[in-house]
Amino acid sequence: MGTVELLTAAGVGSGAEVIVPSYATAEAAEAVRAAGALPVFADIDPRNFCLDPAAVTTALTSRTAAIVPVPLFGHPVDHTGLRAVAREQGLLVIEQPEIEQDDMAGHDTTRTAHAARRANAAYLDARLTGVLTPAVAPGVEHRYHSYVVRVPGNGRPDRDAFARALRARGVRCRVPVQTPVHRTPAFRRELWLVETERAADECLALPVDAGMTRRELQRVVSACNALGGLLPVAA
């Protein structure tokens, strides 16, 4: 059963609120709306980019009926934290499957491919400077559907200029979430989700596909490190 069917079967519909992430694709919010309920956006944990249980708690109202977390970039959601909130409040938790949109990672989901991506990610982790490499919670198996770094600084000019410079050096990269869902026309809300906004301004996906060679990985490292991390903001 899909998310819409699970919500409907549980009696979640008109008048109910369902907490979803804004830093993701719109699928979760669309599923909630299709079930007749209202999507309510909560902030993310800056370490894993998934719903933050503390932020979920803050977003609760008397009409909250369910939580629909979304694993992102290959890092699973905080099942323990979210289910603790759900148990305390008597809420349903329906995990929205991650949709792999990373055209750089390909669609080979075999264990061998996962292992290769993890090995490539470890190579980048150990050598990249000037960007913040992905965090992985203890005991978690990150599948690296996307290898998402942060280019911290003064917001979009830094990250976007960094991305343009990488592309000019032949390195494929992309902004993994162009616009948080709560800022899209279909779901616009007057919200300020601090970590969601920061992630939207700072994050950049670098190539980490299973088939990459060490020479290709080193090209990524050399291009990133040659930029010195942050680019100065033009006066």
Percentage of residues in the chain having pLDDT higher than 90:
79
Query: In whole numbers, what is the pLDDT of the chain averaged over residues?
Result: 90
pLDDT band at 229; cut points 50, 70, 90:
low
**Which tens digit of pLDDT belongs to each residue from 79-110?**
999 999 999 999 999 987 775 544 444 455 57
Backbone angles phi, psi at 30, to 5 degrees: -65, -40
Helix and strand numbers (H, E) in the chain are: 8, 6
Helix 156-168 crosses helix 194-202 at what angle (to 10 degrees)?
30
Separation of alpha carbons 191 and 128, rounded Å: 34
Kindly provide the b/e burial profile for residues 74-87, where b requires at least 16 CB atoms within 10 angstroms of the residue's own CB: bbbbbeebbbebbe
Number of Cα atoms under 13 Å in the Cβ half of residue 87 = 6
How confident is the model over 137-149, as pLDDT tens digits? Answer: 888 899 999 999 9
Is this model's pTM higher than 0.85 or not?
A: yes
| Alpha-carbon span 146 to 102, nearest angstrom | 6
Alpha carbon 6 to its chain's center:
23
